[in-house]
Structure 1
């Protein structure tokens, strides 16, 4: 069996774009003002995907340029947020002019960036006094059934869901000072929606049809048999949210 490479994982989301938009969690309202302050800014949202973080930026009154390597993901964003400019591209070669944005942010995406070339691009497109913001949602495994779900998928995930030291490496490459905000968000989902959400993860999206069906069947079985989820029509899936504000020196 061929093991998918980093680039295949990174580009795997286009085929599950609609499900991603419907089933992935959003972000707490307090994250955007922590990263950007109250005044409107021009913001590049990198790895914007279907626009889950873009939603929050627009709600807060910021002008957004959404950038993603997947045109299919951006189609979902464009359909919901037609006023937002979208550009196909990656963090390592941004389709933006020099000193053209006040901030660069990435929700659930910076672990896909190549640190050194991306840091150089962030420096290039940021205006003086600009900031960088990275955000991740992580399932809250203090909840027993969520911990059991995490144990089921940990080997499949292979580290593709968290910051994995990315912030520290970006802070050194820029260089930048770092501030942190901790928050939380909860999704209310049917068990089948939980299964569908897991199906949008890169480590599932790269599987063939038989592999996906087998793996998601195990997730479905867990939810059907775990004492905290068995027989329930609606589940609260909690996430911890961590936001990092990097201020280049």
Structure 2
């Protein structure tokens, strides 16, 4: 993906903020606990917070949360749903917080949008010594046969390599960490995966997939055709054809400590 296409994908979510809030899954609490277990304190920045999916889990776990989000529509939805949380406009490349002001920086399905050459020094700046940087991604568990079939039918714009466990492990091994020049400020990365699931119907799963960046920027006719193939697949699969079902998922976590 070239830089212009990357920026187009990264800025595509605002128009779908309400649908994003309704249909995107939360994060496995065990994954969030693991991300934070070695943090030196309770102050957590949810960076690229979107509509507050990860923010809400952090609040439920008792963290002292600040949310930062660049998209005005997403930020409005976050403030509506979580009015008690301090929520600020800003980005990973320009974080509106003082030096050493948080004990952990978490990013839910967002770190792949960061320009880590710029964001890395910013994250290091706001982290306290021994603070934690962690990215979390919700993954479809394509080890389950019908989920693998859905991935094949959907195409990479709807379910990309990063959305399945093997692809996520490969892509996050070195891609989303602070780049050369700031890497010396961080320790060795750790990866872990935690079971998760989301109750869906065929219609709501189609709506969830429609909030993915690749779908949001797709030409209308192509988008309709892709969503039509997905609906037909779900209607023909015994696991998904009738009523509610659990979408098998994992929450993957990439964790690194500030030195």
TM over 0.5: yes
Where does 1:202-213 land on structure 2 (aligned, <5 Å)?
Answer: 202-213=213-224
Question: Residue 111 of structure 1 contacts residue 163 of structure 1 at CA under 8 Å; is this kept in 2?
Answer: no
Kindly state the Cα deviation for residue 40 of structure 1 after the two structures are TM-superposed.
5.5
**2: CA distance, partners of 1:167 / 1:127:** 24
Cα distance in 2 for residues equivalent to 1:204 and 1:218: 13
Greater displacement, 221-230 / 188-197: 221-230
Secondary structure of 1:26's partner?
coil
Deviates further, 150-159 or 189-198: 150-159
Q: Residue 19 of structure 1 aligns with which residue?
A: 19
Match of 1:31 in 2: 31
Mapping of residues 17-96 of structure 1, within 5 Å:
17-37=17-37, 41-96=42-97
Deviation at 1:122, TM superposition (A): 0.8
What is residue 117 of structure 2 aligned with on the other side? Answer: 116
Partner secondary structure for residue 211 of structure 2:
coil
User: TM-score, normalised on structure 2?
Assistant: 0.87
| TM-score, normalised with respect to structure 1 | 0.90
Q: Is the 8 A contact 2:40 2:130 kept in 1?
A: no
Corresponding position: 1:176 with 2:187? yes
Please tell me whether residue 151 in structure 1 is matched to residue 152 in structure 2.
Answer: yes
1:224 corresponds, among 215, 235, 243, to: 235
Give runs of aligned pairs for residues 1-16 of structure 1, distance below 5 A: 5-16=5-16
The answer for unaligned runs of 5 or more in structure 1 is none
Q: Distance in 1 between matches of 2:144 and 2:169?
A: 21
Q: Please state how far the C-alpha of 1:143 moved relative to its aligned partner.
A: 1.5
Q: Which of 214, 232, 236 in structure 1 is aligned with 2:225?
A: 214
Structure 2 regions of 5+ residues with no counterpart?
none
State which of 151, 171, 182 in structure 2 corresponds to 1:165.
Answer: 171
SS in 1 for 2:157: helix
Q: CA separation in 2, counterparts of 1:55 and 1:222?
A: 33
| Cα distance change of structure 1 residues 149 and 92 upon mapping to structure 2, 3 Å threshold | same
Structure 2 distance, partners of 1:160, 1:28, is 18
Aligned length: 246
Tell me the CA shift for residue 159 of structure 1. Answer: 4.5
